[in-house]
Chain A
Amino acid sequence: MEQSEVFPALGAIPVGKGPEGIAVDGEARRGYVACARSNTVAVFDLDTNSIITQIPVGKEPIGLVYDKQSGRVFTTDARQDTVSVVDVHRLETIKQIPVGSYPAGAGVYEQRRKVYCGNTGEGTVSVIDADTLEVTATVQAKLAAGSLCADPVRDHVYCANFGDASVTLIDGKTDQPIGEIAVDYAPCKIVVDAPRGRAYVANSLVSTVSVIDLEKREVVDTLNVERAPVGIGLGPGGDRLYAGNRGAGKISVFDTETRQEWARVPVGTAPGDLAVDPITRTIYVSDAGTSTVSVFQDRLPGKPDVLPQETTHPLVGKPLPEFRLPDMVDGRERTSGEWRGKNYILNFFASW
């Protein structure tokens, strides 16, 4: 089967600028994405793959979680030091809760009625009561605390510390930090498969995914991905792992049983966070390069005959096309001719 048949692209939903944290509600057929450069939450329809509305939240929303019980979406507004609360029935922001410095990641523990935000600027975690919307505790984590995920089976919450190459364990009941698990450099998203006792951590700068055994509280495997995984999500029942390679423009599909990479699906540009609709196994990807949500379905029945191969980019061996681009500092045009006769590395980056 062709890749386009196994992983059909179902469209790209134009949303606000710079989409980041994303969540879907399969039963309600709705999705929510934080648009960091439009300062909105975009609400989209999972059946028509079209946008319903955009709701203003705080400045630079990055993290986003959905609490189904209360029907609320929470965004971490990094440049405003707040968590915005959106009522998904009324489609409006109902509160902005002051938290710590530069909140860039979020988590929700529905059973304990708690929402968490990782205050990246100060290495702490704010604990918010999902019903009263008050901050009830502040937990000391490590440098650049960000993404969080709950484990209802062990009554723990895990916080990925981007600047510390670690995950902090937090007691779900007492909000006390219990300890750290060492992972790779620059962990930026964590997801938990509580029944199987596994957590997966995307380490963006070293292009790996750490697999944590939650009973042993240690990394038991490290998966290599193509480039700069920033988003990660699990299929229904935790059977597959999807990792968004921001640097490669592809989603890695892993079988979690064998931890083997089964496919690399090209999607949009600079894919980031992603969410999986467990009912249709459709994957919704925040596409920060084009400000859309890319949608594709996973119809792969099992292990494919051909596993992903390392490929050489078509540019290798060819002359670099000439560039004429303005200098960041003074705006004057600079061209590739300036570097003729030198060996050099041309790096492309975005601040997000």
Chain B
Amino acid sequence: MVNVWEHVNSREEALHFCKVHSIQGPVLIDAKGDYIAQLGLRGVPVNLFVNKKGIVQAVGMTTPDEVRSTLMRLLNPFAKK
């Protein structure tokens, strides 16, 4: 996960948010939003699905249903691509 656009005390805000929502796993900080701007993304939350070769497979998909169906589509070898 990458935290962006906190404007003030990015690290403290991100730590607090992750504690409140019991978020585990690596969290990085793009404080000024330079990286997200490089990707041409203009909002949060947003998900990028990246494959083993580092290729972006899908962009967007943040609701639980969307995440589930996107993973099924991308990871299920029997599904039609």
Q: Please report the C-alpha to C-alpha distance between residue A288 and residue B6 in the assembled complex, in whole angstroms.
A: 9
Q: Please report the C-alpha to C-alpha distance between residue A282 and residue B10 in the assembled complex, in whole angstroms.
A: 33
Q: Please report the C-alpha to C-alpha distance between residue A320 and residue B14 in the assembled complex, in whole angstroms.
A: 23
Q: Which among A84-92, A148-156, A211-219, A326-334 touches the partner chain?
A: A326-334
Chain A contacts to B: CB under 8 angstroms: 17-18, 37, 205-207, 226-228, 245-250, 266, 268-271, 288-289, 291, 312-321, 323, 325-329, 331, 334, 336, 339-352
Is B73 located at the chain interface by the 8 A CB criterion? no
**B18 pairs with A328, CB closer than 8 A:** yes
12 A-B pairs whose Cβ atoms sit less than 8 Å apart in the complex: A249-B42, A269-B33, A289-B5, A329-B15, A347-B48, A348-B1, A348-B2, A348-B48, A349-B2, A350-B3, A350-B5, A351-B16
Contacts of A351 in B (CB 8 A): 3, 6, 13-14, 16-17
| Contact pick for B44, options A246, A316, A326, CB 8 Å | A246
Is B72 located at the chain interface by the 8 A CB criterion? no
Taking A206-B63, A246-B43, A325-B29 as contacts, is the C-beta distance between A348 and B50 under 8 angstroms? no
**B44 pairs with A247, CB closer than 8 A:** yes
**A329 pairs with B45, CB closer than 8 A:** no
Contacts of A270 in B (CB 8 A): 5, 42-44
**A227 pairs with B62, CB closer than 8 A:** yes
**B11 pairs with A328, CB closer than 8 A:** yes
Q: Please report the C-alpha to C-alpha distance between residue A266 and residue B43 in the assembled complex, in whole angstroms.
A: 10
Contacts of B58 in A (CB 8 A): 316
Among residues of A, the one whose C-beta sits closest to the C-beta of B56 is: A315
**A289 pairs with B40, CB closer than 8 A:** no
Q: Please report the C-alpha to C-alpha distance between residue A314 and residue B47 in the assembled complex, in whole angstroms.
A: 14
